Structure 1
Amino acid sequence: MFPQTDSHGRLRHLLTLEGLPRATLVRLLDRAQEITDGQADDRALAGRAVCTLFFEPSTRTRMSFQRAAQRLGADVLGFDASTSSTTKGESGRDTLKTIEAMGVDAFVVRHDEDGAVAALAAAAAPGTALVNAGDGRHAHPTQGLLDMLTLRQARGDDLAGLRILIVGDVRHSRVARSALHALRTLGVGAGGGSEIRVCGPQALLPDDDTLAGCTVGHDFDAALEGVDAVMMLRLQRERMAEGLVPSLQAYHAAYGLTAARLRRAAPDAAVLHPGPINRGVEIDDEVADGPQSMILRQVANGVAVRMAVLEMLLA
């Protein structure tokens, strides 16, 4: 992995939450909370330019990064792969170097290949910052950060004693991997009743060490018992082979979060979902729109978290 920090330990890029020091992660979360509380500096990035370089479709991530950069006073350039020179064969590296030559200071990159953002970071000029907005199945660090901020708002700043359940298609989910890195860094699952539970059909669970230290099961009803938060995952149908799920109806019957199922969790359990939601598949309307849902809070927190990241990298 291309290094995220310089020789002084300062963050140069945000490529993954894996290995990110706890102090840096907490500092980002604390700053994002300050921004949420109204302590934003709307001139922090005045004169800077940020490009959202997306080679995959996105709504929440792209727009919240654009909103974050705008709120900090930066100039924002949008890149659409479908109308760019990549359709003529231009490489991602040449695209980045071309836009960088126009005086862009930071790139927010989404790509369908694992490790693609780190490769672009290695090609960037020394003063250029890259933020991984999701690469393949590998990582989505700002989503992991906004999930942690949302959990802190729901359950308190110290997450170390919580029981967190992640449900669904972990095999194809960069969101789940970043959440797991963040939870472990913050002490969840380190004992004392704290636990990271993971539940899903065997075909949708990874067969590497991604789930090391987690309590893994296939019975959703049993996994829900007493948990403090439930993180539902979207079925990544665009990344999976056919046949891993017999049908959407069968998946919902086994792993869909209904109001009746949610009653097995702690009474004030928070419900999270990174979106986009497949309603009636991973989660029912009654839960997605219910009082325990933090889904729209996650979206709002995404802007604050991304402001905090851009500030740390550029301000």
Structure 2
Amino acid sequence: MKDFISMEVLPKQDILSYVKRANRLATKGYQSFQRQLFAANLFFEPSTRTKMSFVVAERKLGMEVLDFATDQSSVQKGESLYDTARTFESIGANLLVVRHPEENVANQLAASLSIPVINAGDGTGEHPTQSLLDLLTIYQEYGYFEGLKIVIAGDIKHSRVARSNAYALSKLGCDVFFTGMQKWQDDRLPFPTVSMDEAVEMCDVLMLLRIQHERHDNQYHFNSMSYLQQYGLTTEREAKMKDHAILLHPAPVNRGVEMDTSLVECDRSRIFKQMENGVAARMAVIQTLLDQGGQRNGKTINQRQAIIG
């Protein structure tokens, strides 16, 4: 595949290949590219972990980083996303990383550009590199996926992380469950739901999600303490988890909302390990795409006619 857009369409063996390459990079080191390559990071949404881990991954691989800020770009003059992306392709970018509030944007750009496109999050669609670092964290913990019980908890309906992980984990043989408020469930995702009290007792991995307030259509009174007691991970619930079970969260964590503050860095938490793994996961994606396109070794990929949508 030229691009890295979606866990839903990525075959099981390709997912495993990415996980194992990321694990090698995390544990055995890496080599920088031997020629000058440029990465363009187009972030149309705020980001700390995703954007900065891409920058670190790119620089560790020896790439030149072409940064982008919407408030200082020609987007302010009315330039379209397509024209912005084509501009970076035209001036020599070897790959494009894009985060955008609209779903399916990365897929549309991938169809229009000859350079690899990496989806760094598209609206409520998918977040495949976040999923990859989550998979890497689980793999490092257990060494396998088959038969693990994974519960994804929280704002399922508005979470691209939930979608990518549910697709990938189920392909890898995990038993995937959802838990959370009924109004935030997504009927398009065919996975069983359980209560949080059931979830903590059964899971091998509990993946908590941030509440996506910015994606909710209607404003309503939200009581964080009430949410934590009904749907979040309290210290009382954590005490009922299996000894080997781990906690994940894509962050940023709303402390005292999705989980009790004291649990963010407890013994079973792997939240900061996930952040660390984000660099290796994104290095694995970049390496794989540039290897497949021949750019890493000084060749050029076949140019395809741009499709202007």
**TM-score, length-scaled by structure 1:** 0.89
CA distance in 2, matches of 1:243, 1:85: 33
**Once the 2 structures are TM-superposed, how far is the Cα of residue 245 of structure 1 from its aligned partner?**
6.6
- Preserved contact between residue 39 and residue 95 of structure 2 (Cα < 8 Å): yes
User: Is 1:256 aligned to 2:232, yes or no?
Assistant: yes
Structure 2 SS opposite 1:171? helix
Greater Cα offset, 245-254 or 73-82: 245-254
**Once the 2 structures are TM-superposed, how far is the Cα of residue 263 of structure 1 from its aligned partner?**
1.9
Matched residues, number: 291
Structure 2 SS opposite 1:307? helix
Ranked by relative contact order (alpha carbons within 8 Å, sequence separation 6 or more), the top structure is 2
**Once the 2 structures are TM-superposed, how far is the Cα of residue 64 of structure 1 from its aligned partner?**
0.4
User: Is 1:137 aligned to 2:124, yes or no?
Assistant: yes
Hey, what does 1:181 align to over in structure 2? 167
- Preserved contact between residue 226 and residue 264 of structure 1 (Cα < 8 Å): no
- Preserved contact between residue 69 and residue 307 of structure 1 (Cα < 8 Å): yes
Pick one of 50, 67, 80 that aligns with 2:56.
67
CA distance in 2, matches of 1:83, 1:206: 37
CA distance in 2, matches of 1:225, 1:245: 30
Q: Give structure 2 stretches of 5+ with no counterpart.
A: 292-309
User: Is 1:312 aligned to 2:297, yes or no?
Assistant: no
- Preserved contact between residue 39 and residue 97 of structure 2 (Cα < 8 Å): yes
Q: Tell me the amino acid that sits aligned with residue 172 of structure 1.
A: H
Structure 1 SS opposite 2:67? strand
Structure 2 SS opposite 1:37? helix
User: Is 1:85 aligned to 2:56, yes or no?
Assistant: no
Structure 2 SS opposite 1:79? coil
Hey, what does 1:225 align to over in structure 2? 201
- Preserved contact between residue 210 and residue 254 of structure 2 (Cα < 8 Å): yes
If each structure's helix is expressed as a fraction of its own residues, which one has the higher value?
2
Hey, what does 1:8 align to over in structure 2? none
Pick one of 83, 89, 94 that aligns with 1:105.
94
User: Is 1:288 aligned to 2:264, yes or no?
Assistant: yes
Greater Cα offset, 221-230 or 24-33: 221-230
Hey, what does 2:302 align to over in structure 1? none
Structure 1 SS opposite 2:158? coil
- Preserved contact between residue 154 and residue 231 of structure 2 (Cα < 8 Å): yes
- Preserved contact between residue 203 and residue 244 of structure 1 (Cα < 8 Å): no
Hey, what does 2:27 align to over in structure 1? 37
Deviations 1:216-241 (CA, angstroms, capped at 9, x unpaired): 13x31122213111000000000012
- Preserved contact between residue 228 and residue 234 of structure 2 (Cα < 8 Å): no
Structure 2 SS opposite 1:298? helix
Deviations 1:278-315 (CA, angstroms, capped at 9, x unpaired): 00100112111111110011001110010000000113
CA distance in 2, matches of 1:20, 1:234: 25
**Once the 2 structures are TM-superposed, how far is the Cα of residue 152 of structure 1 from its aligned partner?**
0.9
Q: Tell me the amino acid that sits aligned with residue 81 of structure 1.
A: T
CA RMSD after TM alignment: 1.3
